[in-house]
Structure 1
Amino acid sequence: MAPRFRLTGIRKSYGPTAALRGVDLELLPGEVHALVGENGAGKSTLMKVLSGAERPDAGTMELDGTAYLPTGPHAARQRGVVMIYQELAICPDLTVEANVTLGQERNVFGFLTGEANRTRVVAALAQLGHPEISPDTPVATLSPAGRQVVEIARALLSDVKVLVLDEPTSALSQEDAKHLFELIRALKAKGVTVVYISHFLEEVEAVADRFTVLRDGEAVGSGRVGEVTRERIVELMVGRAVAEQYPRTAHDIGGPVLALTDLAGEQLPAGVSLHLRRGEILGVAGIIGSGRTELLRAVYGLDPVRSGRVRIGAFGGGQATPRDRIRQGLGFVSEDRKTEGLALELPIADNVALSRLDEGARAGFLSRSRLSAAVGEVLNRFGVKFRDAGQPVGELSGGNQQKVALARLFHQRADVLLLDEPTKGVDVGSKSDIYRLIGEAAASGKAVLVVSSYLPELFGVCDTLAVMTRGRLSAVRPVSEWTPEAVIATATGNP
């Protein structure tokens, strides 16, 4: 079968940094091709080249046997190559119809032909299996899955031949992810080539036909999904054998350090009681919307507490501010790294020190050199790859950004770590590093509360586990007393 798309010797550098080092890639018609690799491996750069957002420094590209070198994303769309980014490019204040036809409106002598545009939108939504979405619906009212359907409908109006999906399930529930996989299979059946970028190898196994692994800007391996073991794919991604995906550090569990009594927020949580002990790693599972995130935000003082008590060591009471909680020894990592977890425009050193700026102060004045020296040790401990402590944290890869967010808690010297989806959007190698750091935190006597949607992570890292359902928390039990089936049944209200 002749390739739908062929890239040969693609190179791209940004100053002295080589992002792509001569990548070859072939995509076949009607296949789902997974592109995997650690953060910084070159996946996003390669797809930006493919979709016209970046021009390669060297190499050639062919689409259906003819030369392909678009001048920008719009030119790529005109050739049928569309990329849907993890951060959806939609206009929430516009209607579904306006978003789907944006830049592709049909007109006669400069006048928009409204009925023709609406017909195209209705047909695209029906083709995707979502005729219930009205063209008049404001996109802001749609769920994340609905917004994704709108983006894909826009691609269909481009007569899409190659569709690139970048971490498409990052904001979706498990049920919405299943619907997305069905949609991908439907596009594949119509002959569309789908490039699927994901950190979750189980997703790759569920939806992809073939895979290619990128590492340090090079394609280091490829094959058919199912013919290569997951362990081998991980080894190709990190460049070394991964003996243990969930490293364990021996740690002892002591007395209670955080106690919640009938804690209730304005809506969620709905009366949660638990005890978290020193040296304990307690996992909280549950479906999106169950109240897991709201529980952590209420404990940390980000969301109002309607009733109940939070006791941290010698400190007791209900409502408090994040400043209070920091002084009481709590540290929090938000699931929303880009808007809440980090100040992307600020230097790495400032992000690490935000919860403890006195470290670099002298006589009331902040010394930049003292601050950089103070955070350097913790950054090295966390294995953060960076140019210097003054570099904006937004320039780092996702895995390194997450390590900076965690490093802030250690620099703060927090006794209780509240971690909401600590490995979301993080590559395999960085995940293993984060699991090791969580274990080391417990070994040093810190108490860790981990919220995660990824069950293998909870079973691999935690000592104890509880499940949130409609704002309420199940009994906390040792992980050994749970099974994945029991967790799912409890999370869906069918224990």
Structure 2
Amino acid sequence: MQIRMSNIHKAFGKNKVLEGVDIEIKDGEVHALMGENGAGKSTLMNILTGLHKKDKGFVQIDGQETTFDNPKHAEEFGVAFIHQELNIWPEMTVLENLFINKEPVTHFGIIQTNKMKAIANEQFEKLSISIPLSKEAGQCSVGEQQMIEIAKALMTDAKVIIMDEPTAALTEREIEKLFAVIRSLKQEGVSIVYISHRMEEIFAICDTITVMRDGRTVDTTPIPETSFDEVVRKMVGRELTDRFPNRDAKPGASMLQVKNLTRKGVFENISFEVREGEIVGVSGLMGAGRTEIMRTLFGLDGSYEGEIMINGENVTVKNPSQAVKLGLGFITEDRKEEGLVLDFPIKDNIALPSLHSFTNKGWIGEKREHEFVDLLIKRLTIKTESALTEAKNLSGGNQQKVVIAKWIGIGPKVLILDEPTRGVDVGAKREIYQLMNELTDRGVAIIMVSSELPEILGMSDRVLVVHEGTIAGELSKEEADQEKIMTLATGGQVND
């Protein structure tokens, strides 16, 4: 299936999102679509699949002008879209999620559960997925939910699959499995539109790259004819000298100490400390317990054993409200479910944890609140027409910036960042890294959980590696490298 989109325009009210975009997707190619957050990538693909209607331009499939009425129509035609924000029904089982509105039935209308299981198991085997089909989807990690979505799309026998940040929550091992599937699909003539901000992946798996900037197509180039620096320059319209800003860490006193932290069956005997002005990276495979440790520190997951000390004082963290009062901030990996109130405006999302700062005798000082929010919007360069724009109308990367702004606003002593740059473009990533440097310069202690090893190596002053609910090892900045981290993450030992 060949797709050609020409001179595509789209505006939402006065906000012009696309202003003349061209892209051509050929049979059996992996076509990268790159651009800064807000460049219009997802909107373009939503137009292709019928979620949005174009204002101008045309779409041709195999030479015929085609318009889909809705995503279901596109899927029936052979075009599937795996969205960055996962379409998972948390209270339904994995099996039920795979077959929503597509359950095979007998002549008498009885659902063929055994047939569903056989199809699902076959697809899971291809992807090397080992998630029980009877498990509630809401109990799955974000990485597992991503793999469920990928399996669901592959089960439609699609000829074109759009993948929007498919590896954002996957481990290195899961990414390799996905790449093997993509290569197999490519050999079968299936085309992949691959939207990602991870440059290494683009150059590893893609054949062609189209770069968008400010709602326009900048360039389309075969991957062998371009480079990392050239792509970045086209995306941001300027040179990006270094991927990671220089860090000159001067750690101070111990800000957070954790001793023998344990939740039976999840993790045990977790001990570490983070000092003022320090970034401690936390690495490990998906399911190792990294996120669960951080959630417990923030009071999200109930009781625990062990000690937590903040600024030298022994504390008990029972819930997030108490954690905030103690000076903890937590940017969760799941911004859609836990980081944002999507139907609320940006203003309310950013101000929510800091409302006490603007409140006097029960009344909110709106002027102070607006000044506070506007300052953070400008500081994090959140692309929006207004602070009153609902969070759901922002691009994924700009939603992430709102979550970061929300927690920076409380003035935390300790800031936990769980996948802080997930779904964020290369230019915005550097802005976040620079912001992390500024925070540590002011004495904030940062814990950064990340599945991106370059990010761990580029920004951490020390690295903790988690394996099966325990800390497998600690590496200094000087001794940390990808091989040592992966050795520890998979249960091996690193020689001194």
The CA deviation at 1:169 is 2.0
Whole-Å separation in 2 of the counterparts to 1:222 and 1:97: 40
Give CA deviations for 1:143-189 in whole Å, capped at 9, x if unaligned: 43652354124321xxx322212222233333222222222122211
The question of 1:281 aligning with 2:282 is answered no
Any idea what SS the aligned residue of 1:213 has? strand
Greater mean alpha carbon deviation, residues 315-324 or residues 22-31: 315-324
Residues 359 and 120 from structure 1, CA distance in 2 versus in 1: closer, same or farther, beyond 3 angstroms?
A: closer
Whole-Å separation in 1 of the counterparts to 2:127 and 2:215: 41
Whole-Å separation in 1 of the counterparts to 2:270 and 2:422: 25
The question of 1:154 aligning with 2:152 is answered no
Q: Which residue matches 2:450?
A: 452
Q: Which residue matches 1:402?
A: 400
| Residues 263 and 305, structure 1, Cα contact 8 Å, conserved in 2 | no
| Residues 101 and 154, structure 1, Cα contact 8 Å, conserved in 2 | no
Q: Which residue matches 1:358?
A: 356
Any idea what SS the aligned residue of 1:155 has? coil
The question of 1:423 aligning with 2:421 is answered yes
| Residues 278 and 445, structure 1, Cα contact 8 Å, conserved in 2 | yes
Alignment of 1:38-437 (within 5 A): 38-89=36-87, 93=92, 96=95, 99-100=98-99, 102-103=101-102, 126=122, 130=126, 137-138=133-134, 140=136, 143-144=144-145, 147-156=148-157, 160-437=158-435
Give CA deviations for 1:305-363 in whole Å, capped at 9, x if unaligned: 43211110142134433222222222111111111122222232322222221222123
The CA deviation at 1:259 is 1.1
Whole-Å separation in 1 of the counterparts to 2:173 and 2:133: 22
Any idea what SS the aligned residue of 2:400 has? helix
| Residues 256 and 275, structure 2, Cα contact 8 Å, conserved in 1 | yes
Any idea what SS the aligned residue of 1:356 has? helix
| Residues 15 and 385, structure 2, Cα contact 8 Å, conserved in 1 | no
Give CA deviations for 1:422-453 in whole Å, capped at 9, x if unaligned: 11111111111100000001111111111111
Any idea what SS the aligned residue of 1:275 has? strand
Which amino acid is 2:429 matched to? K
- Gaps in structure 2 of 5+ consecutive residues: none
Q: Equivalent of 1:36, from 25, 34, 37?
A: 34
The TM-score with structure 2 as length reference comes to 0.89
Which amino acid is 1:151 matched to? K
Any idea what SS the aligned residue of 1:184 has? helix
Which amino acid is 2:278 matched to? E
| Residues 347 and 391, structure 1, Cα contact 8 Å, conserved in 2 | yes
Which amino acid is 2:54 matched to? P
Any idea what SS the aligned residue of 2:46 has? helix
| Residues 249 and 440, structure 1, Cα contact 8 Å, conserved in 2 | no
The question of 1:461 aligning with 2:462 is answered no
User: RMSD between aligned alpha carbons?
Assistant: 2.9
Give CA deviations for 1:391-431 in whole Å, capped at 9, x if unaligned: 32332222222222222233211111111111111111111
The CA deviation at 1:139 is 7.2
The CA deviation at 1:457 is 0.7
Whole-Å separation in 2 of the counterparts to 1:150 and 1:350: 36
Whole-Å separation in 2 of the counterparts to 1:486 and 1:317: 34
| Residues 334 and 421, structure 1, Cα contact 8 Å, conserved in 2 | yes
Which amino acid is 1:11 matched to? H
Whole-Å separation in 1 of the counterparts to 2:38 and 2:416: 27
Which amino acid is 1:13 matched to? A
Whole-Å separation in 2 of the counterparts to 1:75 and 1:87: 20
The CA deviation at 1:454 is 0.7
Whole-Å separation in 1 of the counterparts to 2:120 and 2:304: 46
The CA deviation at 1:98 is 8.6
Residues 315 and 343 from structure 1, CA distance in 2 versus in 1: closer, same or farther, beyond 3 angstroms?
A: farther
Identity of aligned residues (%): 37
Give CA deviations for 1:27-69 in whole Å, capped at 9, x if unaligned: 1111111111121111111111111222211112211122212
Any idea what SS the aligned residue of 1:296 has? helix
| Residues 126 and 181, structure 2, Cα contact 8 Å, conserved in 1 | no
Whole-Å separation in 2 of the counterparts to 1:409 and 1:95: 33
Q: Equivalent of 1:479, from 473, 477, 480?
A: 477
| Residues 51 and 76, structure 1, Cα contact 8 Å, conserved in 2 | yes
Whole-Å separation in 2 of the counterparts to 1:363 and 1:112: 61
Q: Larger Cα Rg: Structure 1 or Structure 2?
A: 1
Greater mean alpha carbon deviation, residues 389-398 or residues 427-436: 389-398
| Residues 101 and 121, structure 1, Cα contact 8 Å, conserved in 2 | no
Give CA deviations for 1:54-103 in whole Å, capped at 9, x if unaligned: 22111122111222122222332343222222344466736748944835
| Residues 125 and 153, structure 1, Cα contact 8 Å, conserved in 2 | no
| Residues 360 and 374, structure 1, Cα contact 8 Å, conserved in 2 | no
Whole-Å separation in 1 of the counterparts to 2:410 and 2:93: 43
The CA deviation at 1:366 is 1.4
Q: Which residue matches 1:23?
A: 21
The question of 1:10 aligning with 2:19 is answered no
- Gaps in structure 1 of 5+ consecutive residues: none
Whole-Å separation in 2 of the counterparts to 1:281 and 1:439: 9
| Residues 210 and 225, structure 1, Cα contact 8 Å, conserved in 2 | yes
| Residues 46 and 52, structure 2, Cα contact 8 Å, conserved in 1 | yes
Whole-Å separation in 1 of the counterparts to 2:424 and 2:491: 30
Any idea what SS the aligned residue of 1:152 has? helix
Whole-Å separation in 2 of the counterparts to 1:98 and 1:375: 38
Which amino acid is 1:238 matched to? V
The CA deviation at 1:122 is 5.4
Residues 360 and 388 from structure 1, CA distance in 2 versus in 1: closer, same or farther, beyond 3 angstroms?
A: farther
**How many corresponding residue pairs?**
486
| Residues 100 and 150, structure 1, Cα contact 8 Å, conserved in 2 | no
Greater mean alpha carbon deviation, residues 441-450 or residues 93-102: 93-102
Whole-Å separation in 2 of the counterparts to 1:398 and 1:50: 19
Which amino acid is 2:65 matched to? A
The TM-score with structure 1 as length reference comes to 0.89
Any idea what SS the aligned residue of 2:409 has? helix
The CA deviation at 1:377 is 2.4
Greater mean alpha carbon deviation, residues 217-226 or residues 344-353: 344-353
Residues 445 and 55 from structure 1, CA distance in 2 versus in 1: closer, same or farther, beyond 3 angstroms?
A: same
Which amino acid is 1:4 matched to? Q
